[in-house]
Copies of this chain bind each other. A is one copy, B any other.
Amino acid sequence: MGSSFGQLFRITTFGESHGGGVGVVIDGCPPRISLGEADIQRELDRRRPGQSAIVSSRQEADRCEILSGVFEGATLGTPIAILVRNEDARPEDYRAIKETFRPSHADFTYEAKYGVRNWQGGGRASARETIGRVAAGAVARQVLAALHPSFEIVTYVTHVYDITASIDPETVTRTEVEANAVRCPDEAAAEKILRAIEQARADGDSLGGIIECAIRGAPPGWGEPVFDKLEADLAKAMLSLPATKAFEVGSGFAAATMKGSEHNDPFEIREGRVRTKTNRSGGVQGGISNGETIVFRVAFKPPATIAREQQTVTAAKEETSLTARGRHDPCVLPRAVPIVEAMTALVLCDHALRQKAIAPSP
């Protein structure tokens, strides 16, 4: 249990990094939404390895196939199953670590939990698992576009190691994000990040960082107190991603160092609508969207796989050392951008449908 997400727009992902393939089944997608494999492939292409010099050189086409739920270019209202075959499998790369737990990976905990694990390439704990999420997120995006044409999500890298970018969540565009390989729409910072990642690769090391997400055009009223608050579901979505360690919405941790008189967002009337002058709330109040831009940030740790000798132990409880080999990302942030975006679309689509179920018919 644990591979399903969402209440009304509900996805179930499957697949290990090695084996038949990875994918997702989406149950609860409304009918008559325009959808084709190209809509999904576009997002998968954003996350796959081999896109640029700073990500893993693995060559995986990651071609998706829609197995069900779509007919003549539109959704049927029935489950949408999407499959991506595993192609570039080299299990022999992993044979060395069959009996050895890689530090800060999930080898030991999977073994402890299940008493068994697919040691080929990380198995279910591989980032390859996120393919199903990205595919489902692309479908959620289509639903949101149909129901709320002005809705948009823009996601970008704001921070890598010791470099911080400056980006305005109210105005940044997806085109700006996609303008460089780092997916950081502050060109000067992006250039520095690029060099830092190249240096980390050269050093056999890896780097952490922060991704920010801006959700614009969500109407007031999304989010379901008291447990399924919008930020609670976003926090869960983000902390369910591999390598994430932290989440904050609006003012985030900075709120801890503030006074109420500094933090509160005064209301005003702008263009006939109730608006806040500031947005320290981050677009949510009491767990419900307030019509302002929803802004959150997610911290990613540096990838655990580094080309340096590390101390570890074997499944037989003997101490040993390990030096990773293979083709890995020295920094996951650029490829994590479409993954964060996909999870965001899933949360928002689910809440849009949940609100639709109880809202008065016009």
Contact = CB atoms under 8 A, between A and B. Distances in A.
A299 interface: yes
A353 B359 CA distance: 10
Contact of A263 (B129, B208, B358): B208
Contacts of A15: 67-68, 79, 81
Contacts of A8: 1, 8, 357
A46 interface: no
A288 B110 contact: yes
A238 interface: yes
A228 B13 CA distance: 12
A354 B357 contact: yes
Interface in A249-291: 249-253, 255-269, 272, 274, 276-277, 280-282, 284-291
Contacts of A79: 3, 12-15
B10 A272 contact: no
A55 to B, nearest CB: 15
B227 A2 contact: yes
Size bracket, chain A contacts: 35 or more
A98 B14 CA distance: 34
A51 interface: no
B65 A305 contact: no
Contact of A240 (B209, B221, B227, B305): B227
Given A300-B255, A356-B356, A113 B220 contact: yes
Contacts of A304: 260, 263-264
Contacts of A313: 267-269, 274
A38 interface: no
Interface string A1-36: 111110110101111100111110101101110000
5 A-B pairs with least C-beta separation: A106-B286, A2-B224, A206-B260, A246-B248, A112-B220
18 contacts: A2-B225, A16-B71, A30-B357, A32-B114, A71-B123, A77-B113, A104-B265, A104-B285, A105-B285, A109-B286, A112-B220, A112-B290, A160-B256, A161-B256, A226-B240, A248-B299, A260-B304, A269-B319
